[in-house]
Every structure is written in structure tokens, then in C-alpha cells.
Amino acid sequence: MLEAFGLSDPGCVRTNNEDYYLLAPTIGLYVVADGMGGAQAGEHASRLAAETVWEILYHSPVRDHETLLRAFEEANTRVMDAAAGDPSLEGMGTTLVAALEVGDEIYLASVGDSRAYVFEHNRLFPVTEDQTWVNEVGRRLGMDEESLRNHPMRHVLTMAIGVSPQLRVLSYKLKPAAGMQLLMCSDGLHGVAAEDDLVRALSSDGPLEEKCQSMVTAAREAGGPDNITAVLLQAANSRYPAVPVTTEIPNPEIE
């Protein structure tokens, strides 16, 4: 069983919060979503996607890796359908990262640039890979990190929930050990707070609530230009690295 805590903050610049997180320990599900779109569309997309994943898993007789991927597929369909049926929601989408506890394993799935990290032995390991222009195009072109940090395409996603029927979900599996912490967060945290600040918070002896608050505070003190969300899980029982699996979901059709 995982101990869990989540915290979300609008940051220092934006008045609304398009991030959304969900903790459902009774079915072992934990989700972070970072919405995008005009007016209230981003908020709608992130909540709809997260709650769709919960609904599919809650009602499924089997909760496993394949069910998690089907839940992402359904979330993609529902966000697209909602945008198509309401002009005020046109163009909305969201990132989505979810962890599902199944027995003594944790399955992870992600779309976009919200991330999952493992913190173990006082080291922070990234588990998920960003689906962004910087990561999937810029780095493959051999661009240096300084150029990538300032590139005009640095915030462009190559994949998001609700944008295309052709969905590419990245998935991973963890086999947890005592004391492992799993951090799931939006780019308002990982793209703003220094890694040293995250490590300092995670290595403290405080409760998960205090650790999440310290990380959010670090992002705010760094300017807080975006919404900030952190979901922190702690395992009773981890072995890194995660095993990555890339899954293509072409033209999903859910009945």
C-alpha cells in the first residue's frame, strides 16, 4: 500500500489553475493532469481526463497495465468529443501522467510533459520522458542544452490528450522497496524549481504534506510562472530503473 499526498497551487502569475490531480487509494490510482486551452477549457480538459481514467479503472473487473492504457484512450476520446461539441472548449487538451498500484508493482503511463520521478538513496531519477519538441526533436538534432532552454519551441508538446485520435502513450513498470518515493508533477514544478530544492524536500524527515509544500514553495520562490502540482507517493516496499514500454494507440474507438 502506498502513502499519498497531493498539492496544487495556481502559482504567482496565473489567476486560474488548469492543473488537476486525483488520489484514489482504494483502487491504487494517482493522476496528475496539466490542461491547456482558452478561457476555462484547460481546467475542463484536465479534470475530464483524470476523472475518465478513474472511472474506467474503478468500473473495470481487472486493473492492470492494459486497463490503464485503455483508460488513457477513453480520456483522449472524451476530451476530443467535448471540444467538438462546445465551441468554447475548442482546442483544449491536457497532459496526463498516472500511477496504478497492482500488487507489488506500480504501472505508470504518461502523455505530454508532466513527469514522474523516483527518489531513492538521496537521488532523484526521472522515470517518464517528455513528449515535447525539445526532447523529441531538438535533442535528436544535437542541439546543446543552453540553446534548448531558450528555444522558441521549448514549450511545444508533441503529444497531448484531446489533440489527435492517434495517441502515443509512454508506459513504465516499477517494482517498489521500502522507502522509495514517487513524485508526479506538472511542469510548473519540474520546469521551475531547482532539482536541488526537490532533493532537499524529498530527503527531509517530514510527512508527505510538508514535502509537497516545500516543493511548491520552491517553485513559487523561483517565480511561479505556471500552475504547480505535486503528488507524492511513498512505498512500503523499490528497485530502480523502471522498464519503459512505448504503446501506440492508432485511431482509438471506444464502445
The region, left, alpha or beta by phi > 0 then psi within -120 to 50, assigned to residue 196 is alpha
**Percentage of residues in the chain having pLDDT higher than 70:** 84
- Cβ atoms of 1 and 236 within 8 Å: the answer is yes
Instruction: Say what the pLDDT of residue 145 is.
Output: 59
pLDDT band at 252, cuts 50/70/90?
A: very low
- Residue 144 pLDDT > 80: no
Which three cell numbers mark 155?
514549450
Instruction: Say what the pLDDT of residue 156 is.
Output: 80
The whole-chain average pLDDT of the chain stands at 88
Q: E strands, the chain, where? A: 2-9, 19-24, 29-36, 93-94, 96-102, 105-111, 115-120, 123-126, 167-175, 181-185, 228-235, 239-249
Mean pLDDT, residues 142-168? 76
Q: Is the overall model pTM greater than 0.85, yes or no? A: yes
Q: Where are the domains of the chain?
A: 2-187+227-244
As a CATH number, domain 2-187+227-244 is: 3.60.40.10
Instruction: Say what the pLDDT of residue 142 is.
Output: 62
Nearest C-alpha neighbor of 191 from the set 214, 215, 233, 219: 219
Count how many residues are written for the chain: 255
- Residue 85 pLDDT > 90: yes
29-65 per-position pLDDT tens digit? 999 999 998 767 999 999 999 999 999 999 999 999 9
Instruction: Say what the pLDDT of residue 161 is.
Output: 97
